[in-house]
Amino acid sequence: MSGTILSSSPACPDAILTLAVRGESVRAVLLDIEGTTTPLDFVSKVLFPYAQSHARQFLAQHLSSSEVRNDILELRKENDSDMRKGLNPPSFRGGTPQEELESVITYLDWLMERDRKATPLKSLQGKIWEEGYRRGQLRSQVFDDVPRALERWKKQERGICIFSSGSVLAQKLLFSHTTAGDLTPYISHYFDTITGSKIDSDSYEKIARALQRLHSEVVFISDAISELDAGRSAGMQTLLCWRPGNRPQPPSTHARIQTFDEVLP
């Protein structure tokens, strides 16, 4: 299971020209999704608009289900917290089911407009996407290098894991319905906001414990410096994924890669 990475792309003038990952020590690869395995545009221009445009229909059909009721209960708690913080969210109204539905829709729109990583929002989005995938209205995208990297790392007997703000359900749906086929057989673990914030080093501590690995045996790949900083603080190895269309990032000492073909070849 040996291997090294050399980050030396001329397209990244401040790339670190040094060994980026101690390949022989890597036992698990932890991946972000948005901007890392999957284009930002698919998430922002396909998945999020789909959830927003189908939320009313989905909730009207499933408002009485126990799982949706639990999500709404958690949304109320989130709303109360926003009220206490003085964020002026739209308030929940009691009364008829229709009034409750309108309150939930309005608050969901408010959260989505702010790109909040609220767990109940992510849970509901996952349920809405599940229907979209089942109906054939959604087909997920991954970068071309992702399937072959997952296959390579699996053959190298390295664990492959996902950490995303999207729910575990949403993660599994995305990787099982890609244009390259079902990629879930390669993935052993999924982590979402129930584990914690992606910019909190404690989250990465929990992940390492769940994987039963030393922190240094895990390499975390993400497009966000703030997430990589948290992973490194927990002792993980880190790589900044520099994909076309990704958001600009501040200078950092995380080595850059532009494709998974560079990682543990």
CA dihedral 253, 36, 196, 214 (to 10 degrees): -60
What is the Cα 103 distance to its own chain's centre? 27
Q: From CA 192, how far away is CA 197, in angstroms rounded?
A: 8
Question: Looking at the chain, which residues constitute the CATH 3.40.50.1000 domain(s)?
Answer: 4-38+141-262
- Residues 232 and 225 sit within 8 Å (Cβ to Cβ): no
Identify the bridge partners of residue 6 per DSSP, sorted by sequence position. Answer: 19
The pLDDT of residue 22 is: 66
Q: What is the pLDDT of residues 150-208, one digit of tens each?
A: 999 999 999 999 999 999 999 999 999 999 999 999 999 999 999 999 999 999 999 99
Contacts (Cβ under 8 Å, ≥6 apart) of 169: 123, 126, 127, 130
Question: Looking at the chain, which residues constitute the CATH 1.10.720.60 domain(s)?
Answer: 42-134
| pLDDT higher than 70, residue 2 | no
According to CATH, the topology of domain 4-38+141-262 is Rossmann fold (3.40.50)
According to CATH, the topology of domain 42-134 is 1.10.720
Q: What is the pLDDT of residues 192-217, one digit of tens each?
A: 999 999 999 999 999 999 999 999 99
Q: What is the mean pLDDT of residues 245-258?
A: 94
